[in-house]
A and B are shown apart, each in its own frame.
Chain A
């Protein structure tokens, strides 16, 4: 396999990221996924603040407010803050100690995909609940 940078098609790039065990690419995946959840958590935060902006507001119902509040906390800690911190750990730590990759690249990748699918489940359930 050559190390030369090749111009790759879109599909090949996606496949590359799906199968990667490279700590730098996993870091980028964490950054994108964590950033996405950070935005969703931010929207939830805005819903909370809009509801509480004026007294006796009815922007969201009581039950929905509770759901959004819980999801805001869970999202921000487990789906945004930790993955984003992990993104920097993955990107920087091996370079700082002069290593070529982490000790178990496969497990590193597995860890990311567990996190991503788990986060998606949480978000999808919420959407399904609201739609039914």
Chain B
């Protein structure tokens, strides 16, 4: 749902002049991610559906004793599961591709190759799922094909790494907290990538499979990639979302403790894995060479927890102080969002802007302009109606889910009625949505002008 929504938005609602190749990188990665969501989730849904039938109605899809096949479940899961990791990492790449040019004060190096790499990763992401299943026994040919396909992904990812490095090269760097996260991301993620290629070598994978080496690998890509991006994005976009700046000093404390803790926790796990510690074990015995490594790993986790707590304190302090900031608080914003107030008015743009190239706002600033070139005369704006129905519909299904869960218990009497009531509420919500017309409302020109006078600034 979210996927289709973002796809349609990007296809239909770009401002005048915003051609595909002028879209900011984050928009591009959102676009590709949305396509991945659209194609990756149906296999999971089908898999879960069959699983539900197995468990609730006694079907035999995955039950070998009943003529089913567990391997089918593994395939269905990983056909979803592998694109899922790209669903997570591509927006992370997008966030870094926004932050690095801003604080290098240079345009993104190799924009078009960046777009190409994003699309290529999105495509190849669907071609490699069986590398999670090398040890299942698919045969040498299948393993070889998937191993090579997996290694191929290193190529577009490498393109991106070099593009970020070249963006920074010769730039006028400013090491703010978001930039620190971005700089730390490159080597951290690269290490995850290297272990990824190691794991992609099918014969070697027989050694690594289901050990802590794998745990170290995926935490390096997900924490070193996605979590760093989320933390960087929080610091970077906080002023745009809430109109206040997070404290830079506390932000840097979070950064350093989290970074050190992260490497302390997961770096040692590579070696634990190579020494033979398996994944998903509850306890290990003393004097097998695993004691020190695990202790170091746990100490690192405490560092990360400390970093997150500092970040929470930072958010609370910032919210309480409530110091408002202007349109472009980082001073070097390049894309459209930094040209409007923080937080933006609920109609975003009073007049839709005219886009004249990549990094529109930067172009306008370099020409000495204080605001975007409008693409339309000031007019009435049509806005959608607010609605409580989403809460009603999902709330109904929430109630129904509890009914369904407890219905199977022995002697349960309330499960079935609760299930029916819940679904009833959801259906009622959908019915109201279908029969009632939502016209939306207009904000009139006069009100927009009045707004300007009240605030004394141009929106």
Contacts and interface: CB of A to CB of B under 8 A. Distances in A.
> Is B one of A's binding partners?
yes
A41 to B, nearest CB: 11
Interface stretch (B101-109, B127-135, B137-145, B287-295): B287-295
Given A93-B30, A98-B349, A101-B384, A88 B95 contact: yes
Contact of A114 (B88, B284, B291, B394): B394
Given A54-B291, A99-B14, A111-B2, A121 B298 contact: no
Contacts of B4: 104, 107
Contacts of A27: 241
Interface stretch (B183-191, B203-211, B226-234): B226-234
Interface in B387-446: 387-391, 393-395, 397-398, 401-402, 405, 433, 438, 441, 443
Nearest to A20: B386
Nearest to B2: A111
Contacts of B229: 85
A22 B346 contact: yes
B301 A49 contact: yes
A104 to B, nearest CB: 5
B283 A100 contact: no
A82 B5 CA distance: 16
A3 B4 CA distance: 30
B92 interface: yes
A113 B395 contact: yes
B385 interface: yes
A42 B226 contact: no
Contact of B348 (A49, A62, A82, A95): A95
B397 to A, nearest CB: 7
Nearest to A65: B282
Q: Is the contact region of chain B dominated by helix, strand, or loop, or is it mixed?
A: helix
Interface in A60-81: 60, 62, 65-66, 69, 76-77, 81
Contacts of A93: 6, 9-10, 26-27, 30
Given A98-B18, A102-B9, A21 B286 contact: no
Contacts of A125: 405
A91 interface: yes
Nearest to B88: A81
Nearest to A117: B398
Nearest to A88: B233
A52 B298 contact: yes
Contacts of B280: 66, 69
A100 B447 CA distance: 17
A52 B283 contact: yes
Contacts of A9: none
A17 B291 CA distance: 49
Contacts of B346: 3, 22, 24
Interface in B298-313: 298, 301-302, 304-305, 308
B384 A105 contact: yes
Given A53-B295, A99-B15, A3 B398 contact: no
A27 B85 CA distance: 21
Given A42-B305, A103-B8, A108-B2, A96 B336 contact: yes
B294 A52 contact: yes
B384 A121 contact: no
Contacts of B283: 51-52, 55-58, 62
B65 interface: no
Given A4-B451, A81-B88, 8 more contacts: A31-B241, A85-B226, A93-B10, A97-B18, A97-B336, A100-B13, A103-B12, A111-B5
9 contacts: A19-B391, A53-B294, A55-B283, A98-B353, A100-B381, A103-B8, A103-B9, A110-B1, A113-B394
